[in-house]
Amino acid sequence: MFGFIGLLLHYKQEYSFEKRRKQSTVLAFGIIITILMVLSTIALFQVPWSAFLS
């Protein structure tokens, strides 16, 4: 995820001639995906896997 943001910051420089930038949208996506990754990890540890294995 941080790699993607780094990539986009590189492209921000690359596309610096363009006035219309929507960096905030990209950051919003980054934050949403990071939150979802954290929630998925929490949800993973909430599942009682032993109940399914036995």
How many residues sit close enough to another protein to count as binding (CB under 8 A)?
Answer: 27
DSSP 9-34: HHHHHHTTT-S---HHHHHHHHHHHH
State the binding string over 31-50 for another protein (x if CB under 8 A, else -).
Answer: -xx--xx-xx--xx-xxx--
User: How far apart are alpha carbons 1 and 4 in whole angstroms?
Assistant: 5
Q: Residues in the site for another protein, rule: CB under 8 A?
A: 4, 7-8, 11, 13-15, 17-18, 20, 22, 25-26, 29, 32-33, 36-37, 39-40, 43-44, 46-48, 51-52
